[in-house]
């Protein structure tokens, strides 16, 4: 381990010697922990990181001058649609996707390094329960979708296949996630096919460019954003592991989308048949001012432009058909070839932009008192996974319906959107519709049969509660054998073994 003298000299070169100002007060164990944290920080890199953070925060925000003239929608030939295509085209995409899965060429990669501060929990977001009748967590839902898509591909092609699950964690989420998976027997996945790895951490910085001490013996560190994926792939030889397994195509997604379809055969097949090296799922923007990034072109190059960078006038522009001109909302759901990930990791990662996130960062003041600030006081610098889109040789976008595939869990229930209640309702509404389409009918609270047509309120639970295990159906398929012609009271759980009614005392 580096000595206190060596670390102090390195911090002096970086202009950050204040990080050792409580050294004399620390116990031996605290000193060792602080040195272990500071030793890997290269002086020049730390100095530059702090300088760039302060400079980026000081820059004026809002639409960059002249951006509107450089923006263009994606060319039509670069955009597919899972809902507007004809059935035969969709079947062809799906079959190609299942073929690649059956050949063991598809992996999924989960971005799960965030701290979930907006949600207000102290554990990884994947361990969260949104209040489903089954009480399943996000991790369990995702694990079961992997098992189901493996089963469907194996049945179609008469072979056994595996979809490896790579999970990028952070210093905050690795330990709890690994323990959670072990506690739940990896949700009946083979542990050898669940590969967890850790992204890098960066110091949080004050507005004047000083790294923040969270405690006397600890620097305030934060994950380097989901764009830290590319460094983490290299740090942990993940691409070499993929190559060893024969993986050619990787589906990358964020942990918080309760409706995510892992290794979606339709999306995979579309991208493969288009010869794409990089793809993005998109949903139609709900309204011009919706705070989502837009997948478009800037100077002819595909990229995601943040909503804060698009003027209200540009956001409101209409296409000839009356829809929004810039309607393709990014949902952090991507297709990459392994070759593309290798190129980004080896060549382009240093070119990725660092983005500013202004946060409330707990710190110790000059007297050593712990302070929990009431307003933002620090800068966390992040890279975004989608900033690599501009390096693609053949980029495509794939449009899906929001109500079928996108309901993120970002906020506590005190917020009016993207909270546990909206996530739960989105999943239960989807399952209710699947059940009706499969021929099921439901009884209302008074024992009378509910109307056959779906009647889903905008901000409430569906008329009947029906939860369908991903082990039974991946995207609504195969439910007729369980549900057709039957009438169920609410709530209903359709689990792996059989349809069962959840009695009130079980809930």
Give the tens place of pLDDT for each residue, 145-186: 999 999 999 999 999 999 999 999 999 999 999 999 999 999
For 322-469, list the strands marked E by DSSP: 328-337, 355-359, 363-364, 370-371, 378-382, 395-399, 441-442, 466-468
Please report the pLDDT score of residue 231 as a whole number.
96
Q: What is the pLDDT of residues 211-232, one digit of tens each?
A: 999 999 999 998 999 999 999 9
Q: What is the pLDDT of residues 125-148, one digit of tens each?
A: 999 999 999 999 999 999 999 999
Indicate the DSSP class of residue 26.
-
DSSP string, 117-141: TTTT-SS-GGG-B---TT--BHHHH
The Cα–Cα gap between 182 and 467 comes to 25
Whether pLDDT at 363 is above 80: yes
Residue carrying structure tokens 């050792």 = 20
> What CATH architecture applies to the domain 431-506?
Ribbon (2.10)
Tokens matching residue 439: 């021929």
Whether pLDDT at 62 is above 80: no
Average pLDDT, the chain: 93
Please report the pLDDT score of residue 501 as a whole number.
56
The model's confidence at residue 507, banded by pLDDT at 50, 70 and 90, is very low
Neighbouring C-beta atoms of residue 332, cutoff 10 Å = 22
Whether pLDDT at 103 is above 70: yes
In whole angstroms, what separates CA 270 from the centre of its chain?
A: 21
* Angle made by CA atoms 352, 353, 357, in degrees to the nearest 5: 135
Residue carrying structure tokens 């059989």 = 498
Whether pLDDT at 469 is above 60: yes
Segments making up each domain of the chain, as ranges: 4-58, 67-405, 431-506
Number of residues assigned to the chain: 507
Please report the pLDDT score of residue 137 as a whole number.
97
Instruction: Tell me the CATH class for 67-405.
Output: alpha beta
Q: Which range, of 115-129, 316-330, 463-477, 492-506, averages the lowest pLDDT?
A: 492-506
Q: What is the pLDDT of residues 234-267, one digit of tens each?
A: 999 999 999 999 999 999 999 999 999 999 999 9
Closest CA to 21 of 221, 222, 210, 223: 210
Please report the pLDDT score of residue 125 as a whole number.
95
Mean pLDDT score, 388-416: 96
Mean pLDDT score, 367-392: 95
The model's confidence at residue 118, banded by pLDDT at 50, 70 and 90, is confident
The Cα–Cα gap between 476 and 430 comes to 9
SS3 332: strand
Kindly give, in sequence order, each residue whose CB lies less than 8 Å from that of residue 84, ignoring residues fewer than 6 positions away. Answer: 399
Closest CA to 287 of 302, 306, 307, 257: 307
The Cα–Cα gap between 106 and 167 comes to 15
Pairing of strands 218-219, 328-337: unpaired
Mean pLDDT score, 341-368: 93
Q: Which range, of 45-59, 159-173, 275-289, averages the lowest pLDDT?
A: 45-59
Indicate the DSSP class of residue 470.
T
**Higher pLDDT residue, 355 or 197?**
197
Please report the pLDDT score of residue 505 as a whole number.
43
Residue carrying structure tokens 């949600």 = 119
Burial bucket for residue 347 (CB in 10 Å: 0-12, 13-18, 19+) = exposed
For 77-228, list the strands marked E by DSSP: 79-81, 106-111, 165-169, 194-198, 201-203, 205-206, 213-215, 218-219, 221-223
Please report the pLDDT score of residue 43 as a whole number.
94
The model's confidence at residue 455, banded by pLDDT at 50, 70 and 90, is low
Tokens matching residue 244: 């060893």
Indicate the DSSP class of residue 325.
S
The model's confidence at residue 448, banded by pLDDT at 50, 70 and 90, is confident
Whether pLDDT at 499 is above 60: no
Provide the Cα torsion 77, 83, 86, 91; round to 10°: 100
The Cα–Cα gap between 482 and 428 comes to 18
Peptide bond into 18 cis (omega under 30): no
């Amino acid at each position: 381990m580096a000595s206190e003298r060596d670390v102090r000299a390195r911090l002096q070169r970086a202009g950050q010697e204040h990080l050792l100002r409580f050294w004399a007060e620390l116990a031996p164990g605290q000193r060792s922990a602080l040195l272990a944290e500071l030793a890997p920080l290269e002086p020049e890199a730390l100095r530059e990181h702090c300088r760039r953070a302060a400079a980026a925060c000081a820059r004026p925000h809002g639409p960059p001058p002249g951006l509107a003239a450089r923006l263009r929608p994606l060319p039509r030939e670069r955009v597919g649609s899972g809902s507007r295509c004809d059935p035969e085209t969709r079947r062809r995409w799906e079959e190609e996707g299942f073929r690649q899965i059956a050949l063991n060429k598809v992996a999924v990669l989960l971005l799960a390094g965030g701290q979930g501060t907006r949600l207000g929990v102290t554990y990884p977001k994947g361990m969260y329960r949104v209040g489903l009748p089954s009480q399943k967590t996000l991790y369990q839902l995702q694990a079961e979708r992997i098992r189901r898509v493996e089963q469907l591909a194996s049945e179609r092609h008469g072979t056994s296949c595996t979809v490896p699950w790579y999970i990028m964690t952070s210093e905050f989420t690795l330990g709890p996630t690994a323990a959670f998976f072990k506690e739940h027997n990896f949700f009946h996945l083979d542990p050898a096919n669940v590969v967890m790895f850790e992204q890098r951490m960066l110091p949080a910085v004050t507005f004047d460019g000083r790294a923040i001490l969270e405690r006397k013996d600890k620097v305030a560190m934060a994950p380097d954003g989901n764009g830290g994926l590319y460094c983490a792939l290299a740090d942990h030889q993940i691409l070499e592991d993929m190559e060893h397994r024969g993986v050619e195509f990787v589906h990358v997604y964020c942990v918080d989308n309760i409706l995510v379809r892992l290794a979606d055969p339709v999306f995979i097949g579309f991208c493969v048949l288009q010869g794409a090296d990089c793809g993005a799922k998109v949903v139609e923007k709900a309204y011009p001012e919706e705070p989502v990034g837009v997948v478009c072109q800037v100077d002819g190059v595909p990229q995601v432009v943040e909503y804060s960078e698009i003027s209200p006038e540009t956001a409101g522009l209409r296409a000839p058909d009356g829809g929004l001109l810039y309607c393709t909302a990014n949902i952090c759901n991507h297709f990459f070839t392994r070759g593309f990930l290798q190129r980004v990791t080896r060549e382009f990662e240093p070119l990725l932009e660092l983005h500013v996130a202004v946060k409330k960062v707990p710190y110790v003041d000059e007297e050593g008192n712990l302070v929990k600030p009431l307003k933002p006081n620090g800068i966390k610098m992040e890279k975004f996974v989608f900033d690599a889109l501009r390096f693609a040789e053949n980029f495509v976008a794939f449009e899906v319906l929001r109500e079928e595939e996108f309901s993120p869990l970002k906020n506590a229930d005190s917020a009016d959107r993207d909270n546990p209640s909206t996530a739960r309702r989105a999943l239960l509404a989807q399952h209710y519709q699947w059940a009706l389409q499969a021929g099921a009918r439901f009884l209302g609270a008074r024992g009378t049969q509910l109307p056959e047509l779906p009647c889903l309120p905008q901000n409430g639970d569906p008329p009947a509660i029906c939860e369908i295990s991903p082990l039974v159906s991946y995207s609504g398929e195969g439910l007729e054998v369980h549900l057709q012609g039957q009438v169920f009271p609410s709530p209903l759980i359709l689990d792996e073994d059989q349809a069962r009614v959840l009695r009130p005392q079980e809930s």
